[in-house]
Chains A and B, each alone.
Chain A
Amino acid sequence: MDCSSSLDISLNLNTNAFDRSFPAKLPEEEVKVSTSAGVERKWLVKDKSASELREELNRVYSENKKIKEMLETVCEKYYALHHHLEKLQSRKSPGIDHIEQPTKKRKQDPEDFLGFPNGKTENSSSNQDHHHQQYEQKNQLLSCKRPVTDSFNKAKVSTVYFPADSSDTSLTVKDGYQWRKYGQKVTRDNPSPRAYFRCSFAPSCPVKKKVQRSAEDPSILVATYEGTHNHLGPNASEGDATSQGGSSTVTLDMVHHGGQRLATEKNERGMMQEFLVQQMASSLTNDSNFTAALAAAITGRLMEQSRT
């Protein structure tokens, strides 16, 4: 409600200084207009004496002044209440609905806030203090709760880039976990669709991932992981894709050279594997025990075959 537009009391009137004792005259429950104003009077009778007219004019002036005072006070209270309501509404958060109850309790006693005279509040200052303490406590609770909910809702997000065959349209990446695909959609910024997966390695695992080909380089699959696995990784070598965070997250400018980089890495990894195989073969052949055992095994196998 735009109160400022509907409640403009500035009528360019010659107002005098107000007596601020007005709120004491307001009723306890609701504000009601209790003046006799509103009755339209037309002074068309000319036969009244000037003194009577002056007297009546003075009465109307005082009534005018009184109405202005009331109007100003009610407007002030209205704006204050409006601000209070706005503050309360801005405080509202979907995650903390259960704490709303105590705040409403405070709301049930708006006279405290409004400053209107109320026998109950005047006579029970200890109760008011108690309510105030409760209100403060709830506020503290609210202020403490909010960051917790915020941090809780803030899921860990990491991005991993995988090389992909351009002919493969399955949008699956081998990160060691089991994933259940639950959706796919086409995005505006990318010609290839985006697939949505949920970790099915553990029943209550909250981790989700989105997989989409890179718009810059379609030979790269970009997997975005959200959340943290609530279970151990499939095995040590495969590791936790989401926990690789820093190492696996590649910035966007690297995407331009991503294909070349990944190809180099692949070559290096292949060379390393070949080297390891060669080293293992040479160490085994150099081991005389192993050679003898192997020879015995082969001989035994040949003997068995010749018998059958």
Chain B
Amino acid sequence: STTSALVDELNRVSAENKKLSEMLTLTCENYNVLRKQLM
């Protein structure tokens, strides 16, 4: 049960990481677009 709980938590955090990474990519893209606009 401890192992399965750990696996579940790992899956949850990994999914969260993926979501955060996507957001970060999107934010960076927007940021770079804005930066180019200013240049």
Contact = CB atoms under 8 A, between A and B. Distances in A.
Task: Assign chain A's interface to a size class.
Answer: 35 or more
Q: Which secondary structure dominates where chain A touches chain B?
A: helix
7 contacts: A40-B15, A50-B3, A53-B7, A53-B10, A61-B13, A82-B34, A108-B39
Contacts of B32: 30-31
Interface of A: 1, 3, 6-7, 9, 11, 13, 30-33, 35, 37-44, 46, 48, 50, 53-54, 56-57, 60-61, 63-64, 67-68, 70-71, 74-75, 77-78, 81-82, 84-85, 88, 107-108, 110, 114
Contacts, number: 117
Interface of B: 2-4, 6-7, 9-11, 13-28, 30-32, 34-35, 37-39
Contacts of A46: 3-4, 7
Contact of B10 (A6, A57, A68, A88): A57
Given A60-B17, A64-B17, A42 B25 contact: no
B39 A110 contact: yes
B13 A71 contact: no
Given A56-B10, A81-B38, A110-B38, A64 B31 contact: no
B31 to A, nearest CB: 5
A305 B6 CA distance: 137
Contacts of B31: 31, 74, 77-78, 81
